[in-house]
A and B are shown apart, each in its own frame.
Chain A
Amino acid sequence: MKNPAAIGQPLDRVDGPLKVSGAATYAAEHQLDHAPLVGWIVEATIPAGRIKALDTGAAEKSAGVVAVLTHNNSPSQVPFGEPDDEGRFTQSRAMLGSDRVRYHGFPVALVIADTLANARHAAGLVEVSYDPAEAVTTTGSDADEVPDELDGGLDPDVTRGDFEQAYSESEVQLDVTYTTPNQASAAMEPHATIAEYDGNELWVYTSVQLIGPAVEVLANTLKLDPDKVRVLSPYIGGGFGSKLGLHNEAILACLGAMHLERPVKVVQHRRHVFHNAPHRGNSVQRIRLGASGDGKLKAIGHESYMPRARGYAFAEPTGASARTTYHADALLSRHRVKTVDMSLIDSCRAPGHSIGSLAFESAIDEMAYRCDMDPVAFRLVNMPDREPASGQPFSSHDLAECLREGAAKFGWDQRDPTPRSQERGRQLVGYGVASTIRMNILVKSTTRIRLSDDGSLIAWANMTDIGTGTYTILTQIAADILGLPAGKVSIELGDSAYPASCGSGGSFGAGSSGSALRDACMKLREKLVDIARKQESLKDADFDGASFEGGNLVLGDKKVPLAELVRQSGHDYLEVDGKVEPGEDHEKYSQHSYGAQFAEVTVDRDTGEVRVRRMLGVFSAGRILNRKTARSQLLGGMVWGISYALLEELMLDERCGAFVNRDFAEYHLAVNRDIPEVEIHFREQPDTHSNPLGSKGIGELSISGAGAAVANAIYHATGVRVRDFPITLDKLLEHLS
């Protein structure tokens, strides 16, 4: 019988019972021997300048207040941003280190009290006056700084062929500019940290995607030996990039704990999160496409303009979609940034492709109509045989098949190609499509496993599970390779004491941490076979056909329990280390996951209200490790796509560099009723180059294209092309009557 925990099986999440019963312990929920004090962040109300005066007298006298930390009394730190040769997740993130205000919302004080209510009340009593400085808060197409590199180490500029010439000679041309707004990751768990310091060691319970860099940033900021810093993050209430690194409350909690030598908890209030954790910057994307009369793309141009937060080197590779999806002889991709005095700008789910595809796949759709071609057919005639930007071969390429299969399953041929040709009463009906592509990354990872003499296996890594299903897929990998039931496998993650892993981000978590675990399990198999070979009673056994099933080493008709082999080894347990790192295949091949997404929308002719009626996606992401959790990842990305197309926008008050809609009543996320029936299909094709498991990234795949499919459906429904996301009803209404 097939192991129900085998790789690919839709095993229920192993941490599911804990999560549905409220027993999973998130950052702010760790119970210490003594209840921690509670800190509340006082935020700056100017975007740039210096603190002129701080009066903390009233706050200090307020009930329950133990300390008010400011730049005048906080523990010594390495200046913000040093050393500058460190990456952004590990260089100093000093808080309350000087009188300088870096952005609106930047912490100027931390009020620490016995209870949350007391801390919050006293925070309102802190008086701050400022010497404001000139601040840059907005970005448009005036961005003219060239970043050293884009996120993921990509070059800011890529050119192939002579774009200007190819474009000017093209029979059909398109020159359009799309804009996407500032956006928030808005993980449901606000950033939260409890810090405990005994004068020697710092323990930090937090919510962070990358454990290794979290240790480093604390050591680098707080002048501590990394060996004296322990970071724990076993359960994380969503990250979406906003928790890749540690953020303000973590540093502040540590400062409080070090100052008082008592545990301090700082939970960002939801309103804090919008400024004290990173957001995605707004983009201006100019897209120029040139094609011959038969719809073959000759020139692809993508120019991106985005903000970059002062002192924080993150630039989003918005051109990723334009660089990788379609073939054209000439390619121009350029990224410019403008330094702004704004809260941190960093990765948000699928940096580059998510908002890049929103614009680029919309422009591709425009071009299909301009060439008088079906949008699916137009995409199909422009498939690349090598990666357009690098000229490298693809490790595998399955976009065309995803498009064909998706079109058939969706009933694309039922569509009248003419925009605004399908009406049901007041409802204008439209179908839209978008290609989906997302780079596949492998990151060095290690792990350690231990098989005990009761036949149970435990694996450790400082990996995290941010809701992606890491605990579950790692359980399956070990269970599958060693022939164990899921109940015999425990996965221990989220602790800096465990072997260094890739962490969660960039859709590399499952493939990287999973391949390290696979390596360890394969080595353990060899070890177990070696032990068996030494057994006199097994000397005639069939070692050639050795397999692992049901907790046994199976040698022909002989079954030897793994627990027995451990005992025969003379040890209480067997321990093996595993690792993986990117090799030649990641140098030689351009690696991506693929998909095609289809949406049906209705637009109310009289109100402009858009409803998504159904969505369908066909995805090709190598070997699927768990069909249930993989589907959920794709489902989630499609929800984000709908949300990006229709709802999400951080609204900036340019005068003070502050987002004004810092809550969920005004920063709109898709809610349950916004989400229709969603159909998801896998094209399972293990990629022999991606990693030893053959899997590819999936967490950021569907968000890359889902929004454009919705936007393109709106165009098909209405004949109106809105190039300023989100497509709210006011932008449609004026064109509908």
Chain B
Amino acid sequence: MAVISVNGQEVTLNDDPRTTLLDTLREGAGLTGTKKGCDHGQCGACTVLLDGRRVNACLVLAIQCEGCEVTTIEGLGEGGDLHPLQQAFVRHDGFQCGYCTPGQVCSAYAMLEEVANGEASDVTGKGAVRLSAEEIRERMSGNLCRCGAYANIVDAILDAAGELDRKGEASR
């Protein structure tokens, strides 16, 4: 039986190679924080981190994840505390029904890393990549929110990014 690592815990895969990472998480591992919105890679609700990069878990077969580290929304906070991004989503009301939210938060987490790594986007101009509302809007456009919380999501990410920066500086 193949085994994958999710949030640092071993998850044993079933013997059906058709099973997606998303169905493994939701149906097999009971980790229902990762949501299924379209099962097509078109909505982003199932966004998780695969070795730190964001992926749509519905487009990844579980068996492909052998030897990788999967992080889901359940694995983001530390010691029972919400991650600063999660706290900022609450503070800025970056959601309503909450169904797209775990995907938004995971996507935002990886997106901030992408910006920090200097990876350019469609709206990046010349020079260094800088986090801005426009960068966030572009980079978060793979995560649909039908409740229409987009503007609050942008505010939440900007706020959390500032806090994470300050924390990073403090720890240096």
Contacts and interface: CB of A to CB of B under 8 A. Distances in A.
A548 to B, nearest CB: 27
Interface centre among A17, A189, A269, A677 (most CB of B within 10 A): A189
B5 interface: no
Interface string B148-169: 1111111000000000000000
B38 A664 contact: yes
A605 B141 CA distance: 25
A188 B90 contact: no
A327 to B, nearest CB: 32
Contacts of B142: 671
B39 A269 contact: yes
A377 interface: no
A18 B77 CA distance: 12
B147 A636 contact: yes
19 contacts: A15-B98, A20-B89, A21-B33, A22-B31, A22-B101, A117-B16, A118-B16, A235-B98, A238-B99, A238-B147, A270-B38, A467-B95, A629-B93, A632-B93, A635-B151, A663-B40, A664-B38, A665-B42, A672-B141
A185 B97 CA distance: 14
A29 B32 contact: yes
A629 B149 CA distance: 11
A79 B73 CA distance: 44
A115 B27 contact: yes
A518 B32 CA distance: 35
A608 to B, nearest CB: 19
Contact of A189 (B33, B89, B99): B99
Contacts of B42: 270, 663-665
Given A117-B16, A466-B97, A665-B42, A240 B148 contact: no
Contacts of B38: 270, 663-664
A136 B144 CA distance: 34
Q: A-side binding surface: helix, strand, loop or mixed?
A: loop
A669 B77 contact: no
A183 B37 CA distance: 18
Contacts of A270: 37-40, 42-43
Nearest to B136: A672
Contacts of A238: 96-97, 99, 146-147
A38 B141 CA distance: 32
A228 to B, nearest CB: 28
Given A22-B73, A117-B18, A237 B99 contact: yes
Contacts of A152: none
Contact of A188 (B73, B99, B152): B99
B140 interface: yes
Given A20-B73, A21-B102, A664-B40, 10 more contacts: A13-B90, A20-B101, A20-B105, A24-B98, A28-B36, A185-B146, A270-B39, A468-B96, A665-B42, A672-B141
Interface centre among A18, A25, A467, A637 (most CB of B within 10 A): A467
Contacts of A576: none
Contacts of B63: none
Contacts of B149: 632, 635-636
Interface residues of B, number: 60
Contact of A21 (B16, B39, B74): B74
A428 interface: no
A22 B143 contact: no
A632 B18 contact: no
Interface string A291-317: 000000000000000000000000000
Contacts of B90: 12-13, 16-17, 20
B4 interface: no
Interface in B71-92: 72-74, 76-77, 82, 86-87, 89-91
Nearest to A239: B97
Contact of B153 (A25, A187, A669, A672): A672
Contacts of B89: 16, 20
A152 B122 CA distance: 46
Interface in B19-53: 19, 23, 26-27, 30-40, 42-43, 45
Interface of A: 12-13, 15-26, 28-29, 31, 35, 38, 115-118, 121, 185-190, 235-240, 267, 269-270, 466-469, 628-629, 631-633, 635-640, 663-665, 669-675, 677-678
Contact of B99 (A12, A16, A26, A38): A26
A636 B97 CA distance: 11
A239 B100 CA distance: 13
B144 A664 contact: yes
Interface string B123-140: 000000000000011101
B14 interface: yes
Contacts of B35: 26, 188-189, 237
B6 interface: no
Given A235-B98, A669-B144, A672-B136, A21 B73 contact: yes
B83 to A, nearest CB: 9
A629 B93 CA distance: 7
B41 to A, nearest CB: 9
Contacts of A640: 148
Nearest to A192: B36
A189 B37 contact: yes
A467 B96 contact: yes
A638 B148 CA distance: 8
Nearest to A238: B97
Contacts of B98: 15, 18-20, 24, 235, 237, 467
B145 interface: yes
Contacts of A467: 95-98, 147
Interface centre among B42, B72, B97 (most CB of A within 10 A): B97
A190 B32 CA distance: 14
Interface centre among B34, B76, B141 (most CB of A within 10 A): B141
A675 B137 contact: yes
Contact of A117 (B19, B76, B86, B151): B19
Given A13-B93, A269-B39, A672-B140, A19 B148 contact: no
B23 A117 contact: yes
A466 B99 CA distance: 10
A635 B146 contact: no
Nearest to A22: B33
Given A15-B98, A22-B32, A116-B23, A188 B43 contact: yes
A152 to B, nearest CB: 23
B146 A675 contact: no
Contacts of A22: 31-34, 72-74, 101-102
Contacts of A466: 97
Contacts of B144: 188, 664, 669, 671
Contacts of A20: 73, 82, 86-87, 89-90, 95, 98, 101-102, 105
Contact of B100 (A121, A185, A188): A188
A677 B132 CA distance: 13
Contacts of B77: 21
A22 B34 CA distance: 7
Contacts of B146: 185-188, 238, 240, 669
Contacts of A13: 90, 93
Nearest to A677: B151
A190 B37 contact: yes
B33 A23 contact: yes
B139 to A, nearest CB: 8
Contacts of B147: 188, 238, 467, 632, 636
Nearest to B123: A673
B143 A672 contact: yes
Given A21-B86, A238-B147, A672-B140, A116 B152 contact: no
Contacts of A674: 141
A190 B152 contact: no
Given A16-B90, A188-B45, A672-B137, A637 B97 contact: no
B91 A12 contact: yes
Given A21-B82, A117-B18, A188-B45, A672 B73 contact: no
